[in-house]
Amino acid sequence: MRSHRAAEGAILLDHRNNEGVPDEIMVAQGLPAGAGRGLFEAATYNCSHCQFTVVINPLRNRDRAYCAKCDHLICDECGARKAAGADCVPWKKVVDDALEAATQAQQRSIILSV
Amino acid sequence: MAKYTLSWHSVTLTPVANAAAFTDSGYGFFLQGGSGTMQCKVSEVYIGGEATASSVIIGKFARDSTVAATSIGAGTLFNALNDGSATAPGTIAVFGQVSTTKPQRSATLHLGDLSFNAFGASGRLWANPGEEWTTIGNTASLGEVSFSAFTGSGAGPVGGTVKYEVV
């Protein structure tokens, strides 16, 4: 069984040699308070619906949004959409559909040019 | 398939709002598929500050709602195969810092935030293998990604590196 942690990436911000970035800017950008000071390294995951990189804040108490259909953590925004009734459309399906449409368009243009 | 490193240096960033045209050579890079069916899988984005005084960068790695087109120029970008013995595919990805039709960052499809102080600091994002950020084709909004500075950001300058694979 594959763990969700096996899909984690990482973010590294190195401010060891300067005054860093104020917390209000980091928090406004979706990063944890304190991320702009010293050496900040945290695990991340990419939302399986939109590919947004979510920085995992170890101090967060709320549950992470999770999609049981694609068995992957999703970002809060996609989690809110899912809670409102939106269907699960994993990014891998978006890729497949886009490639299928592009391939069909190419084949149509070849057939029409013959 | 072929894995590449795209790097740049000494770019003075011009902050822009979402859905506004970038300024030539005022953003890190754009990376676009080289054909309607090409996929580029970005596995790492690294930005390093080159400023000589404090300059807080509000960096956005994001998809573009308008893709670059016409008279595309590489600016200070360098694109190299990671494996010196690898053979480049017949069609490679399109990348640049200059174009007639300027890229515009999507208002919604942001992929990652890299805010840091360009006075000697650096920021790096990695994706787990299999979870890479992917472009599909070469049209908006899935066909291009870019790194740029958001409204309110300092100017830098900055350099950086992007690791990606053409699929």
Among residues 89-118 of chain B, which lie with CB inside 8 Å of chain A?
A: 109-117
pLDDT classification of A102: cutoffs 50, 70, 90: confident
| Mean predicted confidence (pLDDT) in B78-107 | 91
Cα B30 to Cα B65: distance, rounded to the nearest angstrom: 12
Q: What is the pLDDT of residue A88?
A: 93
Q: At residue B135, does pLDDT exceed 80?
A: yes
From CA B31, how far away is CA A23, in angstroms rounded? 31
Our CA-based measurement puts residue B149 at a distance from the nearest CA of chain A, in whole angstroms, of: 12
The reported pLDDT for the residue numbered B154 is 87
Is the pTM value of this prediction over 0.95?
no
Q: Which residue of B has its CA nearest to A96?
A: B136
Residue appearing with tokens 């080289």: B34
Please report the pLDDT score of residue A103 as a whole number.
84
pLDDT at B97 over 90: yes
CB contact under 8 Å between A99 and B136, yes or no, is yes
In single-letter form, the type of residue at position B98 comes to: V
Going by C-alpha positions, the residue among A73, A98, A99 that lies closest to residue A88 is A73
Q: What are the residue boundaries of the structural domains of chain B, listed by start?
A: 3-166
In sequence order, what DSSP letters do the residues of B83-114 get, joined into one string?
A: STTPPPPSS--EEESB-SB--EEEEEEEEEEE
**CA angle in degrees (0–180, nearest 5) for B125-B90-B135:** 30
Minimal C-alpha gap between A83 and chain B (Å): 19
Chain B nearest C-alpha distance from A4 (Å): 11
The model's pLDDT over A45-90, given as tens digits with 9 standing for 90+, comes to 999 999 999 999 888 888 899 999 999 999 999 999 999 999 999 9
How far A68 CA lies from chain B's nearest CA (Å)?
A: 18
* B25-62 tens-digit pLDDT: 999 999 999 988 899 999 999 999 999 999 999 999 99
Interface of B with A in 13-72 (CB under 8 A): 36-37, 39, 54, 56, 58, 61
Q: Is the dihedral of CA B26, B144, B162, A90 positive or negative?
A: positive
B159 close to B8: Cβ distance less than 8 angstroms: yes
CA B135 to CA B132: how far, in whole Å? 10
Question: In whole numbers, what is the pLDDT of chain B averaged over residues?
Answer: 92
Instruction: Give chain A's contact residues with B (Cβ, < 8 Å).
Output: 6-15, 17-22, 25-26, 29-31, 36, 44-46, 50-53, 91, 94-95, 98-99, 102-103, 105-106
Hey, of A3, A8, A11, which one would you mutate to test binding to chain B, going by the most B CBs within 10 A of its CB? A11
Distance CA B59, CA B52 (A): 18
Judged against a pLDDT cut of 80, whether residue A36 lies above it is answered with: yes
